[in-house]
Structure 1
Amino acid sequence: MKKALIGFLLLFIISGEAISQNQFPSQIWHKGNVFLTDGQGYSGLIKYDLDNNVVQLQADAVSTFTASNVSNFEIYDEIYGGIRKFYSLPYALNGEYETPIFFEVLTQGENIALLCREYIATDNRGMNNWGPMSMNPFWGPPMMTGYRLAFNYYFLKNGKIQRYSLKKKDLFTMLPGYDDEISLFMRKNRLEHDKRGDLLRITAYYNELQN
């Protein structure tokens, strides 16, 4: 009976760990800071929703802010590791009317910044084919079967945000003037034009070339 109880508890603990690993970043609370447009800053636990462009802060109570109220927020992502920073920027997500929405800033320089917006996508590739995200230590274990974390990427330059199509030829359009240098950099480091970590390194290198 005692062995059975211990076995059940171990199974419960393992199952709990599996559930926590199968949650996406936007589904859990993170330690972090929120900075409002009026200059006020608050610390606590943070949960974000990029679909609705709201961020929740859990301190003494739970407060909800929209992208119109927030200048920026930052979180420490314990699942995937590292500090992640999000800014509220005007953009016409649907139609032509610009409204403040949240973008994660991956890297920025004096000339250009790489932004992204994550979303949960249906994964039809099967549970044994997790794609590039699963092999990157920064992004941790594979996600729950049937879904995956995906990203839309944007470049901020000359004060305007332009969505990146994930086509290689468009990468050189977004990062003009150094086609040969970027091509060589990508070949030497085996970088792809459509992966998060690779795009970050390419954009950072481009900003170095500009200096």
Structure 2
Amino acid sequence: MMKAIVKLYALIPVFSLLIFSGYAQDEFPSQIWHKGNVYGIDGQGVSGLLKYDLDNNLVQMKGDVIQTLTAANVAYFEIFDEVYGGVRKFYSLPYALNGDYEVPVFFEVLTEGDQIALLCREYIATDARNINTMGGMGMNPFFGPQTMMGYRLAFNYYFFKEGAIERYSMKKRDLFEMLPGYEDEISLFMRKNRLEHDKRGDLLRITAYYNELDKN
């Protein structure tokens, strides 16, 4: 299945995994310089400090000057996340992100097999949380809990299969449509391992299990 990606850029990908629970507000991964490598569409790689911007599909390289590259001239880039430890890989793939016209878009590859790959795109979402503010006199009874506006790391997930990228709705019934043919096996696997249909690490395990089933 991933041969379709290889044909796009004439590269042989080697995928690795990083599972992380979240970052502090000032430590979102897209706001940090990471050690990594950038590979152009000609296959040539350059190493350095990288920062990525998935909203605008850009990757920056830090040197004497900061060089900004777009998904149109990058085949893929990889970073080593020093906060959580692990290599993460992002591929530039054609996709109609906003409308019907396909453009190069960066996707992180979480896991892949002969039939299906699980991709994702992270973003920073607003997170409103109720926090009880307790002072020396206690919580103000007239106002009650205070609402603090913060941010959290969130993800959109996609499945790459049959040469096309399909966005996952995060609904359980749609997961079985994305991973057809083994609903009973996947349901049992999820129950035995207490896996959810809408969590990053769980989706990765489910997709990897599906790819193993499909080999038999």
TM-score (norm 1): 0.80
- Consecutive unaligned residues of structure 2, counting only runs of 5 or more, are 1-22, 133-147
Q: Does 1:68 align with 2:72?
A: yes
Residues 190 and 206 of structure 2 are in contact (CA less than 8 Å); yes or no, is this contact kept in structure 1?
Answer: yes
Structure 1 equivalent of residue 199 of structure 2: 195
Whichever residue aligns with residue 37 of structure 1, its letter is I
Over the aligned positions, Cα root-mean-square deviation in angstroms equals: 1.8
Stretches (4+) displaced over 4 A: none
- CA spacing shift, 1:127–1:27, aligned 2, 3 Å: farther
Higher strand share: 2
Residues 126 and 146 of structure 1 are in contact (CA less than 8 Å); yes or no, is this contact kept in structure 2?
Answer: no
Percent pairwise identity? 76
CA–CA distance in structure 1, aligned partners of residues 191 and 89 of structure 2: 29
Structure 2 equivalent of residue 113 of structure 1: 117
Structure 2 equivalent of residue 185 of structure 1: 189
Shift of 1:145: 6.5
- CA spacing shift, 1:127–1:89, aligned 2, 3 Å: farther
Q: Which has the higher contact order (CA 8 A, sep 6+)?
A: 2
- Consecutive unaligned residues of structure 1, counting only runs of 5 or more, are 1-18, 129-143
- CA spacing shift, 1:20–1:198, aligned 2, 3 Å: closer
5 Å-filtered alignment, 1:16-31, equals: 22-31=26-35
Q: What's the secondary structure of 1:118's corresponding residue?
A: strand
5 Å-filtered alignment, 1:4-23, equals: 22-23=26-27
Residues 73 and 86 of structure 1 are in contact (CA less than 8 Å); yes or no, is this contact kept in structure 2?
Answer: yes
Shift of 1:47: 0.1
TM-score (norm 2): 0.79
Q: What's the secondary structure of 2:90's corresponding residue?
A: strand
- CA spacing shift, 1:190–1:69, aligned 2, 3 Å: same
